[in-house]
Amino acid sequence: MKRSTILALGAAGLAGFAAARAYKKDHKVRLSSTGKHVVILGGGFGGLSAASKLIEMAGGQLRITLVDQHNYHLFTPMLYQVATCGVVPYDVAIPLRSFTGPRGIRFRRATVQNVDFEKKMVQTDAGAITYDYLVIALGSTTNYFGNESAREHTLPLKSLEGGLAVRNHVIDCLEQAAQVTNKDEQKNLLTFIVIGGGATGVETAGALADAVRNLIPRRYPTLNKNDSRVIVIEAGSKLLEHMKREMAQIALQELKNAGVEVWLNTTAKNVNNGNIETEDARSISAATVVWATGIRAGDVVSELKTDHGKGGSITVNGFLQTDHPEVFAIGDNAAAKSGGESVPALAAAAMQEGHAAARNVIRMLQNKEPIRFWYKDLGSVVSVGHRVGVAEIAGRVIGGFSGWVAWRVVHLARITSFRNKLATVLDWSTGYFYDVDTARLEIQERKQAA
């Protein structure tokens, strides 16, 4: 390596270290114990954006408590990379206390069980919490649309555990395929089906095809990469249903270029262990079926005593208030409209709603009228496998390598923790030069001795 390169890398390292130190020093803990109590349920995209806006507008004058069942914020847009060995799970799990502590926000790790709107009280498995204002941002869960066989036999991609389960399952399939001699069994183990041709399905299928086809010749030389298949099954007539047709066409072409089969206008009917039947009477044998479609509100949210909209989400008015004006619902929990259109269940929408709800809490405290929420579509980015992506930015659609770079830039900017940004860049850089990591991470809680 050239001396100038070593010096440049050293200088960049020192600058990074100095920036990290300065960042750490700047954040002193200040917990306010006075003022109205704002409780935020859920440390996802909506919850964190509401919390940061409240701090920005009225930090020190409010008591803010954030409640989440996990002690980390899950960066879902990169979950498919956990599932396909592109990044390690820790990259996408950002400790919530690294966000709340420095900002003077109280954090309660607890599972929300119910809300008593009359008593203004949240019931959790770790006790009750009373509030003056409440922001409900508990996200969504997988919707199998009543397909019991799918619920039982597919791998959902919705949580960190889910991402890790897919990753381990894929590695297991490759390991088993390398040991069996029966050709049909081997092909079954090397067939990967992704149900759902939305952004998550496209990204997962592209990355799976990339990982499997690159890994087989280098790490599993007894296998033939041509025996592997990655198939996307999509009920609609196009991929990326909610995005521009041009984006869908690029994604379809790029998936095909990567060797992925795309079955459009096809609905998965019966999913049994190792076999999948479609409504148009097709049948395929596959050891891996990933469910990458459909969301609904979790039971806690859908059973709350308030008005509900599609999929159990909570009906809100134009100011994101529920039928109790001091209670707001945002993100995937809110059946919100903007300009007569339903607001999409996206991280960007949840973040905008978080800001809007926080602004309206402050306005209510100031006895001012709340402001109407308007959703601003900031474009979309989708990664489609090996250094290929498709993006819509400022109305322009770009594909190929530029689309892939746009995906990386947008998501890196969105990761809230500097530490996780660095870790991700490091993982991406090693992934660029080396094969993906295929260590099977067996994470089991150690049982307490009786």
Ligand X SMILES: Cc1cc2nc3c(=O)[nH]c(=O)nc-3n(C[C@H](O)[C@H](O)[C@H](O)COP(=O)(O)OP(=O)(O)OC[C@H]3O[C@@H](n4cnc5c(N)ncnc54)[C@H](O)[C@@H]3O)c2cc1C
**Identity of the residue, 345 or 397, whose beta carbon is nearer to ligand X in the bound complex:** 345
Residues 6+ apart with CB under 8 A from 204: 80, 83, 84, 157, 166, 194, 290, 292
Interface with ligand X (CB under 6 A), residue from 347, 384, 388, 391: 347
CB of 353 to ligand X, least distance (A): 8
Residues in the chain, overall count: 450
Tell me: does residue 370 bind ligand X (CB under 6 A).
Answer: no
Alpha-carbon distance of 67 to 108, in angstroms, equals 5
**Residue 92 backbone phi and psi in degrees, to 5:** -100, 0
Contact 408/416 with Cβ under 8 angstroms?
no
Please work out the total of residues on this chain that contact ligand X, with binding judged by CB under 6 A: 34
**Residue 255 backbone phi and psi in degrees, to 5:** -65, -45
Tell me: does residue 399 bind ligand X (CB under 6 A).
Answer: no
Tell me: does residue 137 bind ligand X (CB under 6 A).
Answer: yes
**Identity of the residue, 89 or 278, whose beta carbon is nearer to ligand X in the bound complex:** 89
The distance from CA 297 to its chain's CA centroid, rounded to whole angstroms, is 15
Interface with ligand X (CB under 6 A), residue from 91, 332, 392, 427: 332
CB of 137 to ligand X, least distance (A): 4
CB of 410 to ligand X, least distance (A): 9
Tell me: does residue 89 bind ligand X (CB under 6 A).
Answer: no
Token pair recorded at residue 89: 């799970």
**Identity of the residue, 45 or 263, whose beta carbon is nearer to ligand X in the bound complex:** 45
CB of 351 to ligand X, least distance (A): 8
Tell me: does residue 43 bind ligand X (CB under 6 A).
Answer: yes
Q: Would you state the torsion angle of the CA atoms of residues 266, 272, 274, 276, taken in this order, to the nearest 10 degrees?
A: -10
Interface with ligand X (CB under 6 A), residue from 94, 189, 345, 406: 345
Interface with ligand X (CB under 6 A), residue from 38, 39, 40, 47: 47
Interface with ligand X (CB under 6 A), residue from 45, 144, 192, 220: 45
Alpha-carbon distance of 212 to 174, in angstroms, equals 8
Which has the closest alpha carbon to 353: 140, 135, 141?
135
Tell me: does residue 350 bind ligand X (CB under 6 A).
Answer: yes
Interface with ligand X (CB under 6 A), residue from 86, 89, 294, 331: 331
CB of 54 to ligand X, least distance (A): 15
Interface with ligand X (CB under 6 A), residue from 52, 53, 64, 76: 76
Tell me: does residue 348 bind ligand X (CB under 6 A).
Answer: yes
Compute the chain's Rg from CA coordinates: 23
Tell me: does residue 103 bind ligand X (CB under 6 A).
Answer: no
Tell me: does residue 322 bind ligand X (CB under 6 A).
Answer: no
CB of 344 to ligand X, least distance (A): 8
Alpha-carbon distance of 190 to 186, in angstroms, equals 6
Tell me: does residue 201 bind ligand X (CB under 6 A).
Answer: no
**Identity of the residue, 114 or 267, whose beta carbon is nearer to ligand X in the bound complex:** 114
Tell me: does residue 388 bind ligand X (CB under 6 A).
Answer: no
- Binding flags for ligand X, 244-283, as an x/- string (CB under 6 A): ----------------------------------------
| Segment near ligand X (CB under 6 A); pick from 77-85, 165-173, 247-255, 397-405 | 77-85
Interface with ligand X (CB under 6 A), residue from 40, 87, 122, 157: 157
Tell me: does residue 298 bind ligand X (CB under 6 A).
Answer: yes
What is the binding site for ligand X (CB under 6 A)?
42-47, 67-70, 74, 76-77, 79-80, 111-112, 137-139, 157-158, 199-200, 298, 300, 331-333, 345-348, 350
